[in-house]
């Protein structure tokens, strides 16, 4: 639920939910690791919000993945 903050812009797709679940961590734990609110992780997972480059890099680091393994311009 929630308005898409960047409705006018192209969205970035991601595999965040699958990778997070595979890593066995909750949204809250990931949010704590990258210093955002847990609901922001939810918005990103539902493709309702495209994170900044800094946040994308932080998420990739927290999940021990490369950014391109998580985020992409095409829907997988």
Partner 1 sequence: MATKKILDSDSDVKVKLLWRDVKSAENHRGLIVIKDDRPGKPIVTWLRTSQFFDGMVNTPARILINVMSILALYVWTIDVANKEHNLLAWVITLIVLLFLQAASVRFVLNTEGIADEFQETRRNLAYRRAYRTIRRIALIPVGLFAFLVVAGPHNDANLLWDFVAYRLDNYRSLTLAIFIFAVSSFQKYFSYGWIGEPFTVREKSSIKD
Question: Counting every residue, how long is the chain?
Answer: 76
Taking the complex as a whole, how short is the minimal distance between the CB of residue 23 and partner 1, in angstroms?
13
Is residue 15 within 8 A of residue 76, CB to CB? The reply is: yes
Window 16-75: residues binding partner 1 (CB under 8 A): 26-28, 35-40, 43, 49, 51-52, 54-55
Is residue 16 within 8 A of residue 60, CB to CB? The reply is: no
By CB under 8 A, is residue 11 in contact with partner 1? no
Taking the complex as a whole, how short is the minimal distance between the CB of residue 75 and partner 1, in angstroms?
21
Is residue 57 within 8 A of residue 69, CB to CB? The reply is: no
What does the alpha-carbon distance between residue 52 and residue 35 come to, in Å, rounded to a whole number? 13
Taking the complex as a whole, how short is the minimal distance between the CB of residue 74 and partner 1, in angstroms?
23
Residues that bind partner 1 (CB under 8 A): 1-3, 5-6, 26-28, 35-40, 43, 49, 51-52, 54-55
């Amino acid at each position: 639920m929630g308005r898409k903050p960047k409705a006018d812009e192209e969205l970035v797709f991601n595999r965040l939910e699958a990778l997070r679940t595979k890593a066995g961590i909750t949204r809250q734990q990931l949010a704590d690791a990258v210093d955002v609110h847990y609901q922001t992780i939810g918005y990103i997972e539902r493709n309702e919000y495209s994170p900044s480059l800094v946040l994308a890099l932080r998420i990739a680091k927290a999940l021990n993945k490369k950014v391109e393994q998580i985020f992409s311009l095409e829907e997988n």
